[in-house]
Amino acid sequence: MARMGSSSNEQQLAADQDAVRERMHRIRHKILVLSGKGGVGKSTVAANLAVSLAQQGFRVGLLDIDIHGPSIPQLLGLRNTSAQGSGPGGSGEALLRPVAVSESFHFISIGSLIEDRNAALIWRGPMKHSIIKQMLKDVEWGDLDYLVVDSPPGTGDEPLSVVQLIEDASGAVVVTTPQDLAVADVRRCITFCRQLSLPVLGVVENMSGLVCPHCATHVNVFGRGGGERLAAEMGVPFLGRIPIDPQIVSASDEGTPYVKAFPDTVAGKAFREVCRRIAVSCTGQEPEPKKETTMIRIAIPLAEGKLALHFGHCQQFALVDVNPTTKTIGGVETVDAPAHEPGLLPRWLGERGAGMIIAGGMGQRAQGLFREQGIEVVVGATAEVPETLARQYLEGTLVIGANGCDH
């Protein structure tokens, strides 16, 4: 009997691995983001790498396997969004749909799968391995160009499970800060990759100096060059430096990816260059971005979940990504309105990628300020929920009446 049970268990493990293999076969490049220690900004790098790839028109998935401290939902502003079921898979188990950030960018995290987000998950290795296998096997990723995997710090159960389950990973991106303490831990991380025959795509030196926003003086807060020296010593590519920017902190706390809110800053350009080099490491050639879809982010002021007829009195904003070409709605994000300050909202919404506002009423001066930011303004809409207004806009049936507020 023991032998029969053992045989049955082995058959199930083989079937699970086949299911993972089949799912991963539809993804061209699988990238693990690792770090030797915590506090180096690994999740921030992973999230902004994924967003940057999606901005180039690639189909991207982001998998957060940090079981005990998932931060990807917060970084993407989707902390309270859960993954949904989509019917039975090939093994008979229910598949999960990842959370949509936009039409071409989806993610899943342990934070998307548990109801109590304040619960402490006290799990040993086998349980971690099981949930990671589920997120690879039972999540309906579809056809992707890139899957970015955000791993917890160190070389423990989670990264080991992912490397064992994804048999053809493109490689690892290793994140460090410049100081020697972090570099020593990253050296062990690279050794871990080599022992598991996982290619190292390169080293990213995060928090590499601070550029003063007032005088432009460069201050090496944590030193400089440790990541580059380590890469040379270990014979792996150096992918670049990302400087400290206080706006990275504020954007992360607000749930807005930094490369989306501040693409033209020194750090924003550094993220894009690191992304380009990673793509070169994966493919051996300069990336050829796919044609970008014409996505528009519509900002809709809300009061009690519906459009606020008086723009200046709104409690929240719904940020709805729509594609007028395919007439589809991507992600919907709800954010609290900032404290009232004259002239703040045009810049605030511009930083969050808004290209259009649908409002009940808005004064002429305010409309002019938004248009100066390149944000189109539509006024006179009725008090509907955001998805209804976005759908009406796509279908050309948006009902526009009188400007409800012209002061």
Q: What is the mean pLDDT of residues 334-350?
A: 83
CB 117 within 8 A of CB 111: yes
Label residues 5-35 b or e (16+ Cβ within 10 Å = b).
Answer: eeeeeeeeeeebeebbeebbeebebbbbbbb
Q: Domain 296-395 has what CATH class?
A: alpha beta
Q: What is the mean pLDDT of residues 368-385?
A: 82
Query: Rounded to an integer, what distance in angstroms lies between the CA atom of residue 276 and that of residue 13?
Result: 37
**Residue in 297, 370, 378, 308 with CA at minimum distance from that of residue 337:** 308
pLDDT of 395 reads 87
C-alpha to C-alpha distance for 31 and 354, rounded to whole angstroms: 30
**In this model, does residue 89 exceed pLDDT 80?**
no
The answer on pLDDT for 342 being more than 80 is: no
Which segments of the chain belong to CATH 3.30.420.130? 296-395
Instruction: Examine the pLDDT at 407 and tell me if it is beyond 60.
Output: no
* pLDDT band at residue 87 under the 50/70/90 scheme: very low
- CA-to-CA distance for 343 and 216, rounded, in angstroms? 26
pLDDT of residue 323: 85
Q: pTM for the whole thing?
A: 0.67
What are the tokens at 48?
A: 């902004």
pLDDT in tens, 12-41: 888 888 888 999 999 999 999 999 778 888
Q: What is the CATH number of domain 10-283?
A: 3.40.50.300
- pLDDT tens for each residue of 192-246: 999 999 999 999 999 887 766 666 566 777 667 788 988 999 999 999 999 888 8
Distance (Å, whole) CA 26 – CA 370: 42
- Other C-beta atoms closer than 10 Å to the C-beta of 38 total 15
- Give CATH 3.40.50.300 domain extents, the chain: 10-283
The pLDDT, as a whole number, for residue 399 is 78
Residue 290, pLDDT above cutoff 60 = no
Which residue is associated with the tokens 């432009």? 216
Predicted pLDDT of residue 135: 87
**What confidence tens digit (pLDDT) does each residue in 142-178 have?**
899 999 999 988 777 888 999 999 999 999 999 998 8
- Give the DSSP per-residue string, 228-239: HHHHHHHT--EE
Indicate whether 88 pLDDT > 60. Answer: no
Position 92 scores a pLDDT of 46
Residues 104-133 have a mean pLDDT of 75
Residues 6+ apart with CB under 8 A from 214: none
Task: Give the other-Cβ count within 10 Å of 370's Cβ.
Answer: 22
- pLDDT higher for 228 or 84? 228
pLDDT at 223: 66
Computed from CA positions of residues 344, 350, 354, 357, in that sequence, does the dihedral angle turn out positive or negative? positive
Is pLDDT at 403 greater than 90 in this prediction?
no
